[in-house]
Amino acid sequence: MRVGERKDTDVRHEDQRPPAAVLFDALGSDYEKAFAHAPAHLSALDWLIERLPPGARTLDVGSGTGRPTAATLIAAGHSVLGVDVSPVMVELAARQVPEAEFRCADIRDLPLDEDSFDGVCVVFSLLQMTRDEQSALTRRLALALRPGGHLVLATVPADVEDAELVFMGQPVRATSFAEEDFTAMVGAAGLTVLARHSAVFTPDHPSAEPEPHLFLHCRRDRTGR
């Protein structure tokens, strides 16, 4: 059975789904409205596109509604594989960016071939994973990049583990790292951090508050792993 498929005999209650699926199924298109125009996100996409070869193969981890990441990469002439654990988000993305390929899957379980992508985007997609899971996935994503490939990774920097929060009116538990620790984790995964950009962004949502955002612009070097 492929990742994301379900047998008719399976009994799977709502509270057994991955927490990220529950959260983003509930948010749907409201998430795009709240975040799609974040300047640091759009700037990071411009940075990545400037460094991609023509017709690059790219991976969008936590692809959401497909906008802005997948849509921007497609418009620049690249191919996109988007992966999201939320079936609601995948349905929206497939409708909004039909030129891209989207899979409903947990990226932690999805096989990734080494040296297979020119670019990877991971924008706020790690926050509902443990620190060990974040570290392990970042190592896998680094190996999935071709040598010399580039990766953009964004998080909310904070020294918290399994913290109870309310996000856009929805209960959520989140784990993150302080900025220096997150940057060190990415470096330990085999990526060179070329630049990091900090910003404060207030999502377009009635219950939103200003959020600190950290964007890391990274490269997998051609030598070593």
Q: Residue 48: pLDDT above 90? A: yes
For residue 196, CA distances in Å to 82, 153, 199, 221 come to: 24, 10, 10, 17
The pLDDT value given to residue 2: 32
Which of 27-36, 86-95, 109-118 has the lowest average pLDDT? Answer: 27-36
Domain 15-219 is in which class?
alpha beta
pLDDT digits (tens, 9 = 90+) for 114-146: 999 999 999 999 999 999 999 999 999 999 999
What gap in Å lies between CA 216 and CA 222, rounded to an integer?
A: 19
User: For residues 149 and 118, is the Cβ–Cβ distance under 8 A?
Assistant: yes
Residues 153, 218 contacting (CB under 8 angstroms) = yes
Position 224 scores a pLDDT of 45
- The C-alpha atoms of residue 177 and residue 205 are separated, in whole angstroms, by 25
Average pLDDT over residues 76-105: 96
pLDDT score of 16 more than 70: no
What DSSP state is assigned to residue 169? Answer: T
> Rounded to an integer, what distance in angstroms lies between the CA atom of residue 202 and that of residue 208?
6
Q: Is the whole model's pTM more than 0.85, yes or no?
A: yes
How far CA 57 is from CA of 79, 114, 116, 119, 163, in Å, comes to 5, 13, 8, 7, 35
Instruction: Return the higher-pLDDT residue of 25 and 200.
Output: 200
**pLDDT, greater one: 21 or 15:** 21
Task: Compute the 3-state secondary structure of the chain and give helix, strand, coil in percent, each to the nearest 5.
Answer: 30, 30, 40
105: pLDDT strictly greater than 50:
yes
pLDDT of residue 11: 34
What's the mean pLDDT in 25-36?
A: 80
